[in-house]
Each structure stands twice: as structure tokens, then as C-alpha cells.
Amino acid sequence: MNNQNILITGARQGIAREYAFTLAKRGHTVFATTKTDEQAEALREEVHANNLTIRVERLDICNADDYQKGIDFTPDVLINNAAIGESGPVAEVPMERLRANMETNVYGTLALTQAIIENMIARQSGRIIIISSLAGRMVVPYVGPYAMTKFALEGAGDALRQELKHHGIAVSLVEPGAIDTGFNERMIATKYEWFDDENLLFEDADRMHPYERLLTQNQHPPESVTPAILHAVESNRPKTRYVTPFWPYAPLTWFATKLLPDRVRDWLTRKVANTD
């Protein structure tokens, strides 16, 4: 595929920073965006230090006033990466925190996508890549608030794919597993900002720790997601879904979600976490 104009949200660090740099090295025109001006300045310094040509700007997906920057860039490819993580027992997570997580991960993502799609439909071409998560296919207890947002994006991606195909727009979902970017650690920490001995489920606090270790042990490097992004961007026939890294997550996800009944999958999750 020829040089593409690629808009990436949430590109300050982690997997998006990795594939933004790789896409630029491969000759694509990359517009890497961040939530704040401070993050944008820090990313510009890294871009300069690596002798890359990448446009970097603030584009907060929860601020509609920022969308025009993305529209003016007229991207051929939109990569929706920006997200936040919220953890804690769903039975007690404060609703304002749950709403904030949904506002960024789901509503902000879709609002920007709607703004960008207009030019793609006019051209009858384009690609939309949504960074979801294996948490959008399988839930680890006590990170349900985050998983809920990813389940919603999975549904949005499936709908967009079918609705936009006849307009020449391909939609792909990318589902990373445990990736070593610090995101999982920060997400786990959010519940301790409000969860204490006054909560109904505080007696379950010790039970949470094994599940936290599932998310933070044996993580894969950020660059392990890049091959899936490159295929979604450059292939003449992008996949509808990418589980990444393929091994071990793809076969395990297929087995757990396609073959196992819910209660068996719940039991297996407890066994892996050593909570039984």
C-alpha cells in the first residue's frame, strides 16, 4: 500500500508511540496526537531525537473543539488508541468514575470517528482501526469497569464494519493482551483511590491481588502490537480482528470464548489466579 495519512490518538507513550514511530519510518504521513499540550511537547522532543517526521498536536477526544485538527488532516487511516483505565468491583465502583471511563473510551472514540468519517465517505475509501483489548472478550474480575468500555467498542466496531463496508471503509479491531506499558498498573491503582474499609466488599481485598498479578506478570513489550497495526494499515485485505501478540493469546482466546461455557471459564480464571 502507498503512503497513507494516518491519525493516531493517545500517542504519547506505550503501544501507540511504538507503532507511530514505525509507521513514520515506513514512509507514512503520521499525525500523532495527545490529550494535553504538555504531552504533545514531550512527544515532539522524542520525535526530534529520533530524527523522524511526525506531526504532533494536542487532540483531546473528549473535547469536540479539537476535532477540526483531525478533520483538516484528512486521514486515510484513523487509529483510535486513546483510553483510560478504571478498576474496582462493579458492585461498588462510583458511578462518576464509571461514566468518565465510558466518556473517554467509548463516547470520545465514537465522536471523533463520526467527525472523521465524513471525508472518508466522500472519498469512498478509508480505514478505521479501534484499539480494543482482550478485556473486551474476556473479563478479569475487578477490572470490570474498563472491560465494559471495551465490550462496548467491540460492538461499535462490528456495527461500523458492516455499515461502512459498501462505502469502501474497512474497520478493524485490535485486541492486545497484557502489554508492558504501565497502563495496567495505573488502572489497578485507580480503585485504591476510593476503595477502603468502609466499602461493602472490602473483605474481598485480598482476593483482588491474584487477579491483579494476572494483568501485570508476564507482560509483552509494546512493540509486540506493531505487526498487527502494520497489517491493518498496509494489507490489501485487513482482518476484522487482530488478537496480539498472536501467541499465546489468539489460541487461548478462541478456546475460552468459543468452546467453554461461562461457568467453566469462570472456574478456569479462578484456577489461573489461584483464588480457589
Encode pLDDT of 255-276 as tens digits.
888 888 999 999 988 988 887 6
What global pTM score does this model have?
0.95
What is the per-residue DSSP string for 33-47? Answer: EESSHHHHHHHHHHH
- Which residues sit opposite 128 in a β-bridge? 78, 171
Which domain range does residue 245 map to? 5-273
Q: CA 188 to CA 210: how far, in whole Å?
A: 12
Better-predicted residue by pLDDT, 70 or 252: 70
Question: pLDDT band at 1, cuts 50/70/90?
Answer: low
Q: Kindly state the percentage of the chain with pLDDT values over 90.
A: 89
Structure confidence at residue 54 (pLDDT): 98
Cα angle for residues 139, 151, 237 (degrees, 5° grid): 115
pLDDT tens per residue, range 62-107 = 999 999 999 999 999 999 999 999 999 999 999 999 999 999 999 9
Number of structural domains in the chain: 1
Residue 22, pLDDT > 80, answer yes
Pairing, β 169-176 against β 241-244: parallel
Active site residues: 146
CATH of the domain at 220: 3.40.50.720
Which residue type sits at 94?
Answer: P
- In this prediction, residue 276 carries a pLDDT of 67
Coil, strand or helix: which one is 52? coil
